[in-house]
Structure 1
């Protein structure tokens, strides 16, 4: 029953992340039906991350006050309502308003779900469960984009959005019926107002650098493949999707490592951050060949996927059990900020130095991430940091 419950909370996170991918695949039919410029549709798509960048820490405090399962149910209810509203929208203003409401539901879910997974898992399984949770975004984005596009082809883009909303409604009712883990006692108001500890800030900032690296690279990859390898738009999108989905392999490696807990985390962290950065210089070069570029993109994403798995597994250790919900909101805020900053940062350096500028942007983000992780794992007391790096409770 424990892993079934964990699997359900993971599935809810995947459903939330599907809201990131669904509008991307529906951008063209929506812009045509509502007579919108593609830039307006792009604004609607990015609004989900913008809310996370602005409100993540506040969401952590609100979730801690409302309770984890109630927040999860409320988040799913908002996804349902917002999805139905988007399907009925007749203007960009309406689409933006419903997307803003959807962003609140998304935030509630991604803050509450990992904490519910933490409290659902047995002590020995918590690290591996949180490591697997880290894959919810690439899995959800891929499934959301594919399902939305398929349903739009079968029916229409409006029917596609409503079908996904109906799925969220069913998940809402199911979540209300699923036995919830015993939540920690409600903290005093003064404790809820307390900011996460410094090491949680360092870990969250490191996660933001990773998001900048990953999202920026994936955002520019299709254009690079079309320009430098001669791939068609569809094939470039397929390679990018496979590369994004490959991060799941890294999450599985991180979960396996945290379950074993026999060797230090430090070397694996360095591998997950430095090897992908080095591979970027082999990828973003003139005319690498489609097969070589696709292989490098998939490989570096598979390796880089180890990092978010380790980051989520280490979050309870740097934040403490009492501060986990607030730290989850903080991690969400930095991750969303990195996602927003990644594409323009890469694009700016590409404009200055050509495609090697993309490799430079990723390298700088990876090095900053490594430095911040060292700060996050810095011992608060003699010996504490070493035990943390060794994976001990």
Structure 2
């Protein structure tokens, strides 16, 4: 494995790290806001079920193809430029959506939001690595690791009352307004580390090739993919379970699902705190994998009371958070140097997107073939847990991490 990257920061800029986290929370809210709005969008814009499926999955599909290129572009154009472009893309997408009337226009603007989401998610962690002093880097990246579940859960919680009061167009305008101070703050606060930038396209291409040749970064991407496969399956199953078996309304099912999603955030932070206290990331990843495997039997097994299943889902999400949090920590460790961190984060995000893309249809096909019996979801979930365990125990542990 390559030597750990060095950092020029002598003192951690916690204010700037907090601003970077706000950027992550903001773009993850763009993911969470859509689900509750789908019924309203179908009525207002005439979205078909296929259109709705594309709208829900377009961020993931774009991430497969754009995550690594956007990480590479940042080394050529500068990370701050790509991050600001990402915020502007989300702003144009959200504001533009409020004046359109055709489904295809909504999908195009949703794709623009997706571009912005990926630009932020890939490049902010590299900036945090630069902003944090070496002794604080683990804690700073740990703070970042909560961005996705926390922002998604918050959007799920607030979207329903906002949709009731001001409609989906009003909600999109609120998102646009939130982006304005964020854009100004990011432009002012983030300084481009010139030593991490290159203006030579062949050099950028070599950096991408070197990143894909780094076994550690490939393991991180693969591990995130098989973890995401499991976590997304639980989130896909939970609303229908709460609605059909517990008898909750869809609105209340969304609230409970948001609570389960939210639990992943504190789990990420606790996992990083353990790492900061000297526990190996590989050990924490193994703990997460074993816990998720054991709880899979209880969650999908027969005879478990509904309330207990919900509690187990929260524990599943919490302990599962150990895995993504520590994968974020491993990217700078496996990257050849700091210039490769954005590309490494792109590989991580690419793996996550592949896991999401494959997980939902594979599990849905198995459940459909079994006549709607979700018990069959146990087996692909256990296979994925086994893959995480093997990567943690035999892959990352060999690197003494």
Task: Judge same fold: TM > 0.5, yes or no.
Answer: yes
Tell me, what secondary structure is at the counterpart of 2:195?
A: coil
Deviation by residue 1:167-202 (Cα, 9 ceiling, x = unmatched) = 123311221122436353324544421321121011
Structure 2 residue 22 is the aligned partner of structure 1 residue 11: yes
Distance 2:389 2:137 in 1: 24
Greater alpha carbon shift after TM alignment, 226-235 vs 152-161 = 226-235
1:62-73 to 2 correspondences below 5 Å? 62-73=73-84
| Cα 1:150/1:183, change in 2 over 3 Å | farther
Match of 1:52 in 2: 63
Greater alpha carbon shift after TM alignment, 36-45 vs 19-28 = 36-45
Match of 1:259 in 2: 276
Tell me, what secondary structure is at the counterpart of 1:36?
A: coil
Match of 1:168 in 2: 179
Judge conservation of contact 1:216–1:344 (CA < 8 Å) in 2: no
Judge conservation of contact 2:221–2:352 (CA < 8 Å) in 1: yes
Greater alpha carbon shift after TM alignment, 88-97 vs 236-245 = 236-245
1:303-342 to 2 correspondences below 5 Å? 303-320=319-336, 321-342=338-359
Distance 1:202 1:374 in 2: 12
Match of 1:366 in 2: 385
Structure 2 residue 126 is the aligned partner of structure 1 residue 133: no
Match of 1:110 in 2: 121
Match of 2:44 in 1: 33
Match of 2:243 in 1: 226
Q: Under a length normalisation based on structure 1, what TM-score does the superposition of the two structures give?
A: 0.91
Of 90, 103, 106 in structure 2, the residue corresponding to residue 95 of structure 1 is 106
CA RMSD across the alignment: 1.9
| Cα 1:375/1:168, change in 2 over 3 Å | farther
Match of 1:294 in 2: 310
| Cα 1:258/1:378, change in 2 over 3 Å | closer
| Cα 1:287/1:318, change in 2 over 3 Å | same
| Cα 1:33/1:142, change in 2 over 3 Å | same
Match of 1:280 in 2: 296
Tell me, what secondary structure is at the counterpart of 2:222?
A: helix
| Cα 1:179/1:328, change in 2 over 3 Å | closer
Aligned-pair CA distance for 1:376: 4.5
Aligned-pair CA distance for 1:368: 1.4
Aligned-pair CA distance for 1:41: 2.1
Deviation by residue 1:21-47 (Cα, 9 ceiling, x = unmatched) = 112121111111112224322321211
Of 13, 17, 39 in structure 2, the residue corresponding to residue 2 of structure 1 is 13
Of 177, 191, 199 in structure 1, the residue corresponding to residue 216 of structure 2 is 199
Distance 1:104 1:266 in 2: 32
Match of 2:8 in 1: none
Distance 2:248 2:39 in 1: 21
Distance 1:85 1:105 in 2: 14
Distance 2:130 2:310 in 1: 39
Judge conservation of contact 1:273–1:370 (CA < 8 Å) in 2: yes
Distance 1:74 1:154 in 2: 31
Aligned-pair CA distance for 1:216: 1.5
Match of 1:382 in 2: none
Of 90, 99, 106 in structure 2, the residue corresponding to residue 79 of structure 1 is 90
Runs of 5+ unmatched residues, structure 1: 380-384
Aligned-pair CA distance for 1:374: 4.7
Q: Under a length normalisation based on structure 2, what TM-score does the superposition of the two structures give?
A: 0.89
Judge conservation of contact 1:217–1:343 (CA < 8 Å) in 2: no
Judge conservation of contact 1:27–1:38 (CA < 8 Å) in 2: no
Aligned-pair CA distance for 1:378: 6.3
Judge conservation of contact 2:286–2:388 (CA < 8 Å) in 1: no
